[in-house]
Structure 1
């Protein structure tokens, strides 16, 4: 640790607390430990964007991505109780995925899409 008069116990505690909020954030000692330093939070990553149609559905549902996906994604359909009902994967460059929902009972489900980078998106799907 560098010898800096502004580096002390309070700074260490503040870093420890912020690390609980965002464990990926890295601190820059020389920038943060100056008298005029301002800590800026990292920008939040936007959720993975996709559409589900038709919604409500009675059979086949199309999951369409806004852009071609980089890397593979996993798609999981959850019941309102949080139980996984349907799981599929799509490879890199996929524009859409077909979800066979005809055999599912009528109700509300949540469709969660997770990319290889950990970015997720969630949408509600209603089955008639």
Structure 2
């Protein structure tokens, strides 16, 4: 395995071990051994993607998965001008209503979501909502 591919795989496994939801239940020596075995002969970082995906699946948390860079860019790279369902409005009786649906994306998308969420809260409270 090339030094670059080895460092890439090792770094990915380090991140998994540090942040996995079930990190205290995982046999990390076994996960690492299997990942490095699967990536044996890897010359480029892309050659380790299968091993990283397998290692994430082995965590068994149902939350972890691996996207190759192009897929991640397609899924997370674009930001939305409007987040479907994000709104704020005043209801009768002095009640403010705010809907904040889930969001997934880049840091830019999260920042935009926060700005729009703050705007929705301000709009909901514009009529001096009391609840």
TM-score class, shorter: under 0.3
Which of the two has greater helix per residue?
Answer: 2
TM-score (norm 2): 0.26
Where relative contact order (Cα < 8 A, 6+ residues apart) is larger, the structure is 1
Which of the two has greater strand per residue?
Answer: 1
